[in-house]
Amino acid sequence: MENLFNQKDYHAIVLRFNNITPLSQHAWGKMDVNQMIVHLKDQLDIALGNKPAMAQGPVVLRTFIGRWIALYLAPWPKNKLDTPREMNASLNGMIVTDFESDKHLLMMRLKEFINAPAGFAANPFFGKINNKDWGRLVWKHLNHHLLQFGA
């Protein structure tokens, strides 16, 4: 299973971001490419404890089986996932500046994330999860949106 804490998987994700430009168009969803970049950065800010997030979403995701299905078994559907309020463009949960600056900040947060000491903040949907699950969640989230924008 791919995980951001695996060096090979981390480098593959970073390389895919090189294919994302301000002109990249989404294949589904409502976010534009810059909003997607900030949305992903916001997830990392939540994990790193830089951005507080309230518990939300289906309670089943806080159970071992719910988390396991979401992170390791089921593919994520297009246009069907809830977004934490703190990461939601339509709820003003994000601040977008310019593409290059936002992309640079995302890459910096990715480095911070993979080099962070043990222990991340609770996830708004999954609650307190271990580093392995955080690495899987972030990889799966990045992959989902990279596919959305053709990378």
pLDDT per residue, tens digit, the chain (151 aa), is 999 999 999 999 999 999 999 999 999 998 899 999 999 999 999 999 998 888 888 899 899 999 999 999 988 878 766 666 556 665 566 677 899 999 999 999 999 999 998 789 999 999 999 999 999 999 999 999 999 999 9
The domains of the chain are located at: 7-17+34-148
Distance CA 68, CA 89 (A): 27
Give the contacts of 76 (CB within 8 A, at least 6 positions apart): 70, 140, 144
* Residue in 86, 95, 103 with CA at minimum distance from that of residue 146: 103
Helix axes 99-115, 7-17, angle to 10 degrees: 180
Confidence (pTM)? 0.90
pLDDT at residue 55, rounded to an integer: 86
